[in-house]
Amino acid sequence: MILIGSNAQGLAMYTILITGANRGLGLGFVRHYAEQGMTIIATCREPDKATELQALAEQFSHIAIEALDICDYAAVIRLSEKYADYCIDILINNAGILVSVNTAYDAETWLKSLETNAVAPMILTQAFLPQVKRSAIHKVVFISSSYGSIELATAEGSIYYRSAKAALNMAVRRFALDYTYLEITAVCLCPGWVRTDMGGVNAELSVDDSIAAMVTTIAGLESEHHGQFLNQYGDFVPW
Ligand code: NDP
């Protein structure tokens, strides 16, 4: 089944895949796009515990919840095969982890950060490229962080997280060079500092405010943004 069309209001009806959809910004993306009438493939590690996501899926029939640990590459392939005939208009690589560094570097923890934040989103994107290429919209969004900017680096923040987001940025930049804007549009997008489990209670932005800004930016992506690093408002972030 190839899903593409428009709803009764004439709004384009897209299919959107979101990782880490059970809480924080991922859940915010699901809520926003569901309210717009979009079809959503919402992935998360433990659907049985994703009560808020389940409640949204009961409210909006066009949300499919799929169990997925993005670091389980066999599961990524199985999910891509399950949706092999779909057209995915927007792929949002949102899932990520921030682990603090204690007194000494721990290789296993660091590698897990690199894997989750940088490697897994690229492997997942590769797996779903046929579905994204089928779309005329074909946007791939990688949720990054200004903490991944080398130019903006300060002596704060986890080295595991910063280096992983910097690796993601380079991977996306390199990936984007394989495509023109008219084939695949790929961007790194920083959501701002947001009040989620990761961002903490003192963060500047609510999830709703960050999502409102990001969805506007995603909708307005043009050729100049392809392969670039943007903040939630669509401004360029220094690499
Ligand atoms: P949260 O910690 O609230 O949520 C993280 C999400 O990622 C959860 O759904 C979590 O699932 C999921 N996740 C983590 N590891 C995996 C995995 N291996 N497989 C599948 N899902 C996984 O963070 P935010 O919502 O704040 O962050 C979303 C994105 O935004 C991240 O990429 C983050 O780096 C980025 N970001 C956030 C900022 C902020 O201020 N909040 C600032 C800059 C960037 P589970 O519940 O199973 O753990």
pLDDT tens digits, 128-177 = 999 999 999 999 999 999 999 999 999 899 999 999 999 999 999 999 99
* HEC secondary structure over 148-175: HCCCCCCCCCCHHHHHHHHHHHHHHHHH
Per-residue pLDDT at 5 exceeds 60: no
- Ligand 1 surroundings by CB, under 6 angstroms: 19-20, 22-26, 44-46, 69-71, 94-97, 116, 143, 145, 190-191, 193-194, 196-199, 203
CA 8 to the chain's CA centroid: 28
Which class would CATH give 15-231? alpha beta
The torsion defined by the Cα of 97, 65, 175 and 25, in degrees rounded to 10, comes to: -40
Q: Give residue 1's pLDDT band: very low, low, confident or very high (50, 70, 90).
A: very low
Q: What is the pLDDT of residue 129?
A: 98
Beta bridge partners of 40: 16, 63
Q: Which two tokens stand for residue 136?
A: 């005329």
CA of 23 to the centre of ligand 1 (A): 8
The string of pLDDT tens digits covering residues 66-93 is 999 999 999 999 999 999 999 999 999 9
Place of tokens 């009040």: 195
Enumerate residues 6+ apart whose C-beta is below 8 A from 200: none
CA of 63 to the centre of ligand 1 (A): 20
Q: Give residue 13's pLDDT band: very low, low, confident or very high (50, 70, 90).
A: confident
Q: Give residue 12's pLDDT band: very low, low, confident or very high (50, 70, 90).
A: low
The model scores a pTM over 0.90: yes
CB atoms within 10 A of CB 169: 23
Per-residue pLDDT at 54 exceeds 70: yes
* Nearest CA-CA partner of 89 in 158, 37, 17: 17
Q: Are 32 and 9 in contact (CB under 8 A)?
A: no
Per-residue pLDDT at 210 exceeds 80: yes
Q: Are 192 and 171 in contact (CB under 8 A)?
A: no
Across 205-219, average pLDDT: 98
For the CA of 21, the closest atom of ligand 1 is: 9
Can you tell me whether residue 119 is helix, strand or coil?
Answer: helix
Report the C-alpha gap between 71 and 49 in whole angstroms: 19
Per-residue pLDDT at 11 exceeds 60: no
Q: What percent of the chain has pLDDT over 90?
A: 92
Terminal Cα-to-Cα distance of the chain (whole angstroms): 40
* Nearest CA-CA partner of 92 in 127, 24, 139, 137: 139
Average pLDDT along the chain:
95
